[in-house]
């Protein structure tokens, strides 16, 4: 009997090592955070991995001192669970196959995933199980009905319909970067000590992968961001416009772009000095980004010139957005704006639209620039849209 137990233990260890090796290889194949999270949760939930029914992952937002739902993987109902597991079994899908399914997953996500992404938990002691896992840096095991009574009022657990579960912190070096919650809501399979041990070991590797991905994405962000205004820089604007035009071509959708220029900016700089001029550029950028939030991409094109990419916007709605942006700047109280010729700091704008005006990126930029020149020539503080004669 003893020999049998030793063999079972050896088999489990071999299986764990194989899982960790396969998931580790997958995590090393990308630095994209969303892909890393998907690989991690696939490892926790797949039959070829740790085999939990569902897993959800939250990450710490240090600026807001909150825990934010980032991804949930698993079925939302018993019926859905049966369909998924039947398909996986019939197609004999390996862990590699399941990880490769990310391209399909990101198109829609699941009801569980949508629910998780809407959750934000404050990081203080009375905020529930997930917050305590982060604050204490220790996992929580709620694997009996008796233990469940103590967490019955946790609003996050209620929203996820979680009953018996385990949480583990995601650690990177000396800090907790997030937490995983896993359960067996549909199979009701007991969560054993070995399951918890394996999940904890796995979480230690996952935390480092997440932190590496975050550092990489921060580096990429810094490289593509204008240091003064914190908008996208000229190089990344060109990349974004190319990508968005590809999407517009494939979906047969319109795309508009707007070029903005601060009126009489040299006059302001000469009167107030370059430090105040830099402050104006930062404030203009902040106003444009706030007003344009969710509508498009704002970039610093160069000097006192800004560009806005508006996907899926035809000329008339794009003109309305550009006019809103112009008015937001006109109505903003900029320090020292009384030195300007009209006692107010304003912007002019030029607008062009794909495919109505231009078939490609270069001509789209050129025509928006020509429309901006027209706005400057005919009085400033206005929006001019390119119109073919």
Active site members: 304
Integer angstrom CA distances of residue 31 from 28, 43, 69, 170, 239: 7, 17, 20, 17, 19
- Which contiguous run of DSSP H or E holds residue 214? helix 193-223
Contact present, 309 and 237 (Cβ < 8 Å): yes
Rounded-to-10 torsion of CA 155, 157, 163, 165: -140
Q: Angle, to 10 degrees, between the axis of helix 265-272 and the axis of helix 274-292? A: 140
- The three-class DSSP label of residue 256 is strand
DSSP conformation class of 337: G
Q: State how far the Cα of 47 lies from the Cα of 94, in Å rounded to an integer.
A: 8
Quick one: DSSP state of residue 19?
Answer: H
DSSP string, 257-315: EEEEEETTHHHHHHHH-HHHHHHHHHHHHHHHHHHHTTT-EEEEEETTEEEEEEET--H
Close Cβ partners of 52 (under 8 Å, ≥ 6 residues apart): 44, 45, 74, 182, 183, 184, 195, 199
Distance, C-alpha 217 to centroid of its chain: 11
The torsion region of residue 335 among left (phi > 0), alpha (psi -120 to 50) and beta comes to beta
Residue 184, both tokens: 């067996």
Cα–Cα distance measured from residue 327 to residue 389, given in angstroms and rounded to the nearest whole number: 28
Name which of 211, 168, 152, 163 is nearest 186 in CA terms: 163
How far CA 383 is from CA of 175, 217, 261, 313, 386, in Å, comes to 50, 36, 11, 16, 10
């Amino acid at each position: 009997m003893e020999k049998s137990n030793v063999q079972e233990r050896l088999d489990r260890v071999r299986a764990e090592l194989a899982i960790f090796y396969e998931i580790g290889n997958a995590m090393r194949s990308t630095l994209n955070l969303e892909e890393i999270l998907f690989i991690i949760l696939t490892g926790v939930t797949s039959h070829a991995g740790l085999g939990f029914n569902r897993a959800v992952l939250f990450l710490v937002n240090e600026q807001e001192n909150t825990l934010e739902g980032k991804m949930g993987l698993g079925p939302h109902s018993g019926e859905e669970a049966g369909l998924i597991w039947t398909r996986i079994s019939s197609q004999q899908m390996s862990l590699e196959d399941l990880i490769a399914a990310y391209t399909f997953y990101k198109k829609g996500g699941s009801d569980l995933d949508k629910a998780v992404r809407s959750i934000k938990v404050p990081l203080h002691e009375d905020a529930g199980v997930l917050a305590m896992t982060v604050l204490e840096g220790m996992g929580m095991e709620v694997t009996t009905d008796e233990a469940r009574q103590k967490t019955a009022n946790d609003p996050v657990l209620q929203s996820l319909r979680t009953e018996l579960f385990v949480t583990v912190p995601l650690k990177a070096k000396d800090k907790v970067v997030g937490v995983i919650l896993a359960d067996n809501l549909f199979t009701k399979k007991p969560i054993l000590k070995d399951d918890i041990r394996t999940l904890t070991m796995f979480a230690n590797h996952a935390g480092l992968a997440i932190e590496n991905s975050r550092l990489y994405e921060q580096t990429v962000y810094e490289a593509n961001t204008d240091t003064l205004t914190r908008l996208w820089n000229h190089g990344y604007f060109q990349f974004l416009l190319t990508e968005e035009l590809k999407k517009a071509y494939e979906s047969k959708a319109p795309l508009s772009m707007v070029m903005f220029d601060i009126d009489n900016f040299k006059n302001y700089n000469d009167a107030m000095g370059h430090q105040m001029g830099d402050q104006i550029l930062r404030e203009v950028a902040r106003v444009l980004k706030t007003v344009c939030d969710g509508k498009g991409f704002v970039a610093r094109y160069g000097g006192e010139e800004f560009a806005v990419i508006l996907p899926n916007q035809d000329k008339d709605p794009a003109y309305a957005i550009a006019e809103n942006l112009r008015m937001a700047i006109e109505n903003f109280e900029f320090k020292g704006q009384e030195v300007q010729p009209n006692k107010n700091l304003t912007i002019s704008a030029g607008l062009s639209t794909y495919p109505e005006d231009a078939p490609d990126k270069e001509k789209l930029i050129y025509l928006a620039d020509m429309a901006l020149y027209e706005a400057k020539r005919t009085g400033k503080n206005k929006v001019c849209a390119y119109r073919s004669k």
